[in-house]
Amino acid sequence: MMEFPLLLRTFLWRAARFFPKKEIVSVYGNEVFRYTYGDYYKRVCQLAHALKSLGIKKGDHVASFSLNNHRHLELYYGVPCSGAVLHTVNPRLPLNHLAYIINHAEDQVVFIDEDLLFMFEPVKDLLKTVKHFVIMSQSGKIPQTSLSPVHSYDELIAPFPEEYDFPVDLDEWSPAFICYTSATTGDPKGVVYTHRGLVLHTYAAGVTLGIKEGDCVLHIVPMFHANAWGGPLGGVAFGCKQILPGRDILNMEGICKVIAKEKVTFTAGVPTIWMMLYDYLEKGGWHDFSTLKAIYSGGAACPRYLMEGFNEKYGFPIVQAYGMTETAPLALAALPKSYMADWPMDKLYDIRSSAGLIAPGLEIKIVNDQGKEAKWDGKEWGEIMLRGPWIAKEYYKDPERSKPYFEGGWLHTGDVGTIDEEGYVRLVDRTKDLVKSAGEWISSVDLENAIMSHPKVMEAAVIGVPHPKWQERPLACVVPAMGQTVTEEELKEYLKDKVKAAWWIPDRFIFLKEIPKTSVGKFSKKDLRVLYAEGKLETKA
Amino acid sequence: MMEFPLLLRTFLWRAARFFPKKEIVSVYGNEVFRYTYGDYYKRVCQLAHALKSLGIKKGDHVASFSLNNHRHLELYYGVPCSGAVLHTVNPRLPLNHLAYIINHAEDQVVFIDEDLLFMFEPVKDLLKTVKHFVIMSQSGKIPQTSLSPVHSYDELIAPFPEEYDFPVDLDEWSPAFICYTSATTGDPKGVVYTHRGLVLHTYAAGVTLGIKEGDCVLHIVPMFHANAWGGPLGGVAFGCKQILPGRDILNMEGICKVIAKEKVTFTAGVPTIWMMLYDYLEKGGWHDFSTLKAIYSGGAACPRYLMEGFNEKYGFPIVQAYGMTETAPLALAALPKSYMADWPMDKLYDIRSSAGLIAPGLEIKIVNDQGKEAKWDGKEWGEIMLRGPWIAKEYYKDPERSKPYFEGGWLHTGDVGTIDEEGYVRLVDRTKDLVKSAGEWISSVDLENAIMSHPKVMEAAVIGVPHPKWQERPLACVVPAMGQTVTEEELKEYLKDKVKAAWWIPDRFIFLKEIPKTSVGKFSKKDLRVLYAEGKLETKA
């Protein structure tokens, strides 16, 4: 068959030529900007010319410091299709990490959202390779800034032709995106996504999640986070209507309005968002979900009460997906099989609350602590290992740290889990978060889920803390539900029939106003451990 | 990302490990054979061992002479996953072509359906490379045969282990299948499908046609015909229930029974089948289509009355797809876009009766007779050219004949068509079937469709015949509908407001009992031309 490279270019061309009337909607506070794939393509072409004018060549790195908006979507295709590499920077990273990743990636140009400028400016003097700054603003004007040389995105691209000859002779193994993991220890690690990997990821996400031209996809996952889980690239590839909600993703009233108004069929995000949405709904918040087919949840385990609540009260399923920056990210999706349709609801929620089934194209195994493949019986624990054409093979410019994670041609995910007879994966814990009590493993995740199933609890994180006799014992950090109080005794009593064994029940419960979060919104157990070690955990309550 | 090859192996493994309970149903006359992907996988493994025992090595060619049944499906994955190449032979080919393609492909082993043995035996003495014959039979016994050495499929594989280590280090560019086009002139031409091409074709068919695990796919397209259009490979990849109807694909009562009993959701085939089905239904034939979502039609243009009839009377759409052996075969599919939902039915049928929109991953252009790209205005004609990762790059061992078809890195399809502003392709004609009258082109296909829209006409084929004054003039060969008579005058009158210009109307109409067909069921205009040249066309009436 033809040696035709797998390039994002083909998807861009398809949207432009076959779906020029389909809409892209970008929300800027109260302003709603709308245009079509026809207009989008013209600006992507202008952007490609502009990149050239800034001296960007094939393989050069270009950074975005941006949320979910239409200019960021232009960068998503414009940068890689022209042969350069888009580095999506997480603006919530601490300053030292920001400087580290931009320098480590050797970014030449940084594209910055106007309203994130204040977060970017402090890093400026630490940057070693950046030659141009481009401000993306709706006003088209450059705000007061110390950055230099600085351009306005719209002005920069305006003079250029609305056609561009995107190279078809690019190698499919060429890098298209680079994204750094939010490091819990040490410097962030860079993951390079090739054109080939992203094209295949797009197909696999399409067949797994069933996204079609007729869908309207709302991108709640930040676009700096692992290609926003593939939604924006897939949206273009399949000609979907796309909604970019800007910075307002934490405004549940706004989210509900946009779902109703734009007739959203799919959206995706971390459980934290769905907890907030559920809370908003339970307080009687206005909504109209008549077009919504499913919500995809990932990044952390979605509590079962949320799955049940959305499904039974609001009429759509939460589909849990599993992946990580290193997997582009879709690896598993928790969709029941067709013959499970008449299973009892309880068993169905067991399926829906699993990490899911492998996407077609990837391979999985679980390996126990003796280095042997664990049985698929739903009981034996093992580290989850993945391989396939959209799995990273190494960390960028970091062969030393890459070694243990990619040994033997498999990605060692650092997640411990089981696989049942039907092939569904269930996460037990992160290898490093397992609590080792008297030589036996306790899953911090199982404990957290059990605690969070208590109606008076909003969030719970469990860490292992040193113990003179048992090596480690679990410590539970609990955030009570809004307006509720809950006691240690209540929770200990509650957990009795919900944990594997009595010795799993944490000895101590600490009540906090909030659990510290990582830059991508996950519980930061690292921060909890530091606070505990410094004796500061109690005082945070 | 990992240099993980795109291999059919990964799909086979997925079906075996994640969908071991899903069913494969194979119909043998009155007997219905059922087993699961779990059992299927075991036999595929045994088959892989058996191939080795017959001396088959990586890259060797193995032929199937078989219809749609479960052993053929075992060959579909067992042969390529073990590193060999499956040559699906069309049993309806004339003897000289059969011998030619088996010798040209250098097939080492031929797998033959018991009930096709009588069609195969005559070719035996013409074969130069075949070392073993394997008979696939439900009885497990070898019938009386002159073939030697001959094996029974079930006996051959029985002694071997039910596990096999399918190579993961196979190059994705390795050939997986070879299929010969049914030549209208000269020897048949071989098209090689690589693992890479078929994996990508599977994804693209999945996202284009929306086939999911919950679907039940009935394979009416013969499995010797361009991978049966991707259905069997995709069925395994996505874990669908699959129905293999055996040789009974022309028995409409049986087809309707199996659709109802097995709860078929999708099926695919040539328009001839759908004409027969429609005829059966219109006569009051029993059916229950409550699970059927769509029928895919390809291989030739599906008459509009069929589309309207099925949709309006029987409640499901016919989705027209376009492709050819050289395109693996899916290239286009005629699915309306979501914003066309409120278009008037008439305009929707215009869309549904087009050749369709390009599948994501391929590229298309139309090139006029001056070698320039024609406009996408629905009017300008041009030859359809395609490129992409599942498009053939040459004919097997035939560089000379390959040249004109693959020049410039595009497949020259030999089809002339238009592309409208929405991107839908409409076929005008085969380049070689256009009628050139007084220096102007007449589309034989447009004429045929216009004639076939007459209620008293079942089939019509138009060929150009030499004319002393106008170079060529169209001649219409017409098969009246069952029990009907229709006259030349009636048809000429009828066509007046249905053709582009009065001079398009054929000067002569010849009424036949049937139009000669090619081995894949298309109108054989070549045969019509020969009959006409020999003065035998009239006497066939």
Whether the CB-CB separation of A520 and A181 falls below 8 Å is answered with no
Backbone angles phi, psi at B123, to 5 degrees: -90, -15
Catalytic residue among B393, B436, B522, B540: B436
Of the partner residues B2, B357, B389, the one whose CB lies closest to the CB of residue A4: B389
Instruction: Kindly provide the residue ranges of all beta strands, DSSP E only, lying in A66-207, ordered along the sequence.
Output: 85-88, 107-113, 132-136, 150-152, 175-180, 190-194
Kindly list the strands in the beta sheet with A31-36, ordered across the sheet, starting from the edge strand earlier in the chain: A31-36, A23-28, A241-244, A216-219, A266-269, A294-297, A318-323, A330-333, A357-358
**ipTM over 0.95 threshold:** no
CA A268 – CA A253 distance, rounded (Å): 17
Q: What pLDDT is recorded for position A432?
A: 86
Q: What is the token pair recorded at A165?
A: 């000859």
pLDDT computed for residue B445 by the predictor: 86
pLDDT, tens only, B495-508? 999 998 899 999 99
Handedness of CA A155, A157, A159, A162 (dihedral sign): negative
pLDDT digits (tens, 9 = 90+) for B299-351: 888 988 999 999 999 999 999 999 999 999 999 999 999 999 999 999 999 99
A55: left (phi over 0), alpha (psi -120 to 50) or beta: left
> Is A2 within 8 Å of B409 when comparing Cβ atoms?
yes
Q: If we measure between CA atoms, which residue out of A291, A290, A239, A248 comes closest to residue A269? A: A248
Residue B55: pLDDT band (50, 70, 90) is very high
- The whole-angstrom separation of Cα A25 and Cα A458 is 33
For B446, list phi and psi in degrees, rounded to 5: -60, -45
CA A217 to mean position of chain CA atoms: 15
Q: pLDDT digits over B93-103, tens only? A: 999 999 999 99
Asked if residue B196 lies in contact with residue B172, where contact means CB atoms within 8 angstroms, the answer is yes
Distances (CA, A) of A226 to A191, A328, A431: 9, 6, 22
Q: How far is Cα B66 from Cα B85, in angstroms, rounded to an integer?
A: 16
- What is the 8-class DSSP label of residue A419? E
Sign of CA dihedral B510, B514, B515, B516: negative
Residues 163-222 of A with CB under 8 A from B: 192-194, 196-197, 199-200, 203-204, 206-207, 210-214
Coil, strand or helix at A110? strand
Please tell me the distance in Å from A207's CA to the nearest CA on chain B.
Answer: 5
For residue B274, count CB atoms less than 10 angstroms from its CB and return exposed for 0-12, middle for 13-18, buried for 19 or more: buried
Whether residues B10 and A390 touch (CB distance < 8 A) is answered with: no
Q: What residue of B is the nearest CA neighbor of A13?
A: B363
Q: Give the three-state DSSP class for B422.
A: coil
> How far from A312 is each of A203, A305, A306, A316, B214, CA to CA, in Å?
31, 10, 10, 8, 22
pLDDT at B541 over 60: no
| Residue B431 confidence (pLDDT) above 90 | no
Q: Is residue B380 flagged as an active site residue?
A: no
Note the pLDDT of residue B385. 98
pLDDT score, position A540: 52
Chain B residues inside the 8 Å CB shell of A204: 203
The residue with tokens 């240099």 is B3
**Tokens coding B138:** 């439900």
CA distances (Å), origin B513, targets A281, B84, B271, B490, B535 = 69, 44, 18, 18, 17
Per-residue pLDDT tens listing for chain A (541 residues): 999 999 999 999 999 999 999 999 999 998 999 999 999 999 999 999 999 999 999 999 999 999 999 999 999 999 999 999 999 999 989 999 999 999 999 999 999 999 999 999 999 999 999 999 999 999 888 999 999 999 999 999 999 999 999 999 999 999 999 999 976 668 999 999 999 999 999 999 999 999 999 999 999 999 999 999 999 999 999 999 999 999 878 899 999 999 999 999 999 999 989 999 999 999 999 999 999 999 999 988 898 899 999 999 999 999 999 999 999 999 999 999 999 999 999 999 999 999 999 999 999 999 987 899 999 999 999 999 999 999 999 999 999 999 999 999 999 999 999 999 999 999 988 888 889 888 788 889 889 989 999 999 999 999 999 999 988 999 999 999 999 999 999 999 999 999 988 999 999 999 999 999 887 678 889 899 999 989 888 755 4
Distance CA(B324)–CA(B184), nearest Å, equals: 14
- Token readout for A221 is 């996952």
In chain B, which residues have their Cβ closer than 8 Å to the Cβ of A337?
A: 19, 22, 213-214, 239
Question: What percent of chain A is predicted at pLDDT more than 90?
Answer: 86
- Residue A10 to residue B339, Cβ atoms within 8 A: no
Give residue-wise pLDDT tens across range A209-221.
999 999 999 999 9
B129 in active site: no
Question: How far is residue A50's CA from residue A523's CA, in Å, rounded to a whole number?
Answer: 40
Dihedral (CA of A236, A240, A246, A248) sign: negative
Q: What is the mean pLDDT of chain B?
A: 94
Q: Which long-range contacts (CB under 8 A, 24 or more apart) does A477-480 make?
A: A477/A509, A477/A510, A477/A512, A477/A515, A477/A528, A477/A537, A478/A451, A478/A509, A478/A510, A478/A511, A478/A512, A479/A511, A479/A512, A479/A513, A479/A514, A479/A515, A480/A456, A480/A511
> The whole model's pTM is what?
0.91
The H or E element spanning position A262 is helix A252-262
Backbone angles phi, psi at B475, to 5 degrees: -120, 130
Instruction: Give the confidence band of B540 by pLDDT, cuts at 50, 70, 90.
Output: low
Task: Say whether B436 is catalytic.
Answer: yes
Contact (CB<8Å) A363/B10: yes
pLDDT greater than 90 at residue B376: yes
Pick the catalytic residue from B74, B114, B181, B525.
Answer: B181
Residue B524 has pLDDT above 70, yes or no: yes
The token pair that represents B172 in the structure block: 């994705």
Q: How far is A94 from chain B (nearest CA, A)?
A: 27
Write down the pLDDT at residue A21: 97
For residues B220-245, b (16+ Cβ closer than 10 Å) or e, as one string? Answer: bbbbbbbbbbbbbbbbbbbbbbbbbb
Selection from B465, B445, B473, B474 nearest residue B535 by Cα = B465
> And the tokens for A169?
């002779």
Name the token pair of B163. Answer: 């596990």
Of B1, B22, B391, the CB nearest to A392: B1
